[in-house]
Amino acid sequence: MFAAATLALLVTVSLALARAVLGPTVFDRLLATNTIGTCTVLLLAVIGFLTGRPEFLDLALVYGLLNLVGTVAVLKFFHDRQLDDRRRQREATR
């Protein structure tokens, strides 16, 4: 049964990957990347059960945190064109 869930999650990841490749705008690609990240967290958890090694859950937690940070960082980059807040403030006061 874990194998069926793994297969379903792999199908989900491949469909989202197709959207990431096709996506007309950068936001479509980011949305697909975010979905792939969520599916990877679930996939890690399910594979941990499939192989009888629940230590994979720690990896899933770390991957979930990195997923949010990555998405927000890329969005911030596309929003401000830079990641440095201090430089942005200097340019605003100039």
Q: DSSP characters for 29-92?
A: HHHHHHHHHHHHHHHHHHHHHHTT-TTHHHHHHHHHHHHHHHHHHHHHHHHHS-S-HHHHHHHH
Determine the size of the site formed for other proteins (CB under 8 A): 50
Question: Is residue 50 near other proteins by the rule CB under 8 A?
Answer: no
Question: Is residue 47 near other proteins by the rule CB under 8 A?
Answer: no
Quote the Cα angle for 21-26-28, to 5°.
Answer: 65
Question: Is residue 40 near other proteins by the rule CB under 8 A?
Answer: no
Question: Is residue 15 near other proteins by the rule CB under 8 A?
Answer: yes
Amino acid symbol at 42: L
Q: Contact residues for other proteins (CB under 8 A)?
A: 1-2, 4-5, 7-9, 11-13, 15-16, 18-19, 22, 24-25, 27-28, 30-32, 34-35, 38-39, 41-42, 45-46, 49, 54, 57-58, 60-61, 64-65, 67-68, 71-72, 75, 78-81, 88, 91-92
